[in-house]
C-alpha cells in the first residue's frame, strides 16, 4: 500500500510539472502576442505584476518564439547558462543527447559522451563557445591554448636560471640582459664541461 501511494504521488508530481511546462509555453505565446499585436514592451508587461521582472518576461518571450527550451528556465546545472545562448535546435539536441567532450591524458585523447547536466564549469568553457558548441577540433585547440598559457605562466613564476648549459652550448631561457661578468661565468661553465 505504501509503494502504491508513493508511485501515485510521483505520477501526480510529474503530471503537475508537465502541466506547468505547458502553461509556461502558453504564457510565452501570450507574451509574443502582447509584444507583436498589442505593441506592448517587455517593460510594460513586467510592470503589471510585482513578481515579474524584465528578465522573466524576456525568457517567456523566448519560450513563445521557440528560442528557449522550457526546462532551461529552471535548470541549475553549470551548462544551463551556456545552453540558453544556443539556437533552439541546438538546445534541444544538447539536452536530449549527450555532447562530445575531448579528454586528453598525456598524448592520448579520448572522446566522451557527456550529458549536459554532468558538465563541470571548466568542461563547459571547453565545450561551449558563445552561441555554439565547439567541435572536437576546436576543443583540441582550446585545450592546447590553455596548456600554452599554463606553460608560459609556470615559466614566468619559476625562479629558475635564465640560462642552461647543454654540453658546449648555452640555452637562454627567456629575454634578459647580461653583464660581461655573467658572460664570462657562462663561458667558464662551458669550458669546465
Average pLDDT over residues 9-32: 93
Q: How confident is the model at residue 19 (pLDDT cuts 50, 70, 90)?
A: very high
DSSP string over 100-161: EEEEEETTEEEEEEE-GGG--HHHHHHHEETTEEPPHHHHHHHHHHHHHHHHHHHHHH----
Cα 48 to Cα 40, 51, 54: the distances in Å are 12, 9, 11
Average pLDDT over residues 88-105: 94
* Alpha carbon of residue 42 to chain centroid: 28
Q: And the C-alpha cell for 17?
A: 510539472
Average pLDDT over residues 186-190: 85
pLDDT one-digit tens code per residue, 39-71: 999 999 999 989 999 999 999 999 999 999 999
Cα 168 to Cα 89, 160, 189: the distances in Å are 62, 20, 9
**Integer Cα distance of 133 and 71 in angstroms:** 19
Structural element, H or E, at residue 164: strand 163-166
State residue 158's pLDDT score: 58
Amino acid at each position: 500500500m505504501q509503494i502504491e501511494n508513493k508511485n501515485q504521488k510521483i505520477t501526480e508530481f510529474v503530471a503537475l510539472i508537465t502541466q506547468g511546462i505547458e502553461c509556461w509555453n502558453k504564457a510565452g505565446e501570450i507574451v509574443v502576442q502582447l509584444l507583436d499585436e498589442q505593441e506592448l514592451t517587455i517593460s510594460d508587461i513586467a510592470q503589471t505584476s510585482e513578481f515579474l521582472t524584465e528578465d522573466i518576461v524576456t525568457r517567456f518571450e523566448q519560450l513563445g518564439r521557440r528560442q528557449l527550451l522550457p526546462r532551461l528556465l529552471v535548470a541549475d546545472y553549470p551548462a544551463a547558462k551556456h545552453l540558453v545562448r544556443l539556437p533552439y535546435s541546438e538546445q534541444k539536441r544538447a539536452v536530449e543527447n549527450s555532447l562530445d567532450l575531448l579528454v586528453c591524458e598525456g598524448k592520448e585523447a579520448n572522446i566522451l559522451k557527456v550529458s549536459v547536466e554532468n558538465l563541470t564549469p571548466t568542461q563547459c568553457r571547453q565545450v561551449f563557445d558563445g552561441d555554439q558548441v565547439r567541435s572536437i577540433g576546436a576543443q583540441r585547440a582550446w585545450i592546447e591554448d590553455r596548456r600554452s598559457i599554463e606553460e608560459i605562466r609556470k615559466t614566468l613564476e619559476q625562479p629558475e636560471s635564465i640560462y642552461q648549459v647543454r654540453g658546449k652550448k648555452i640555452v637562454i631561457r627567456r629575454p634578459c640582459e647580461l653583464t660581461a661578468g655573467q658572460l664570462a661565468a657562462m663561458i667558464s661553465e662551458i669550458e669546465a664541461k
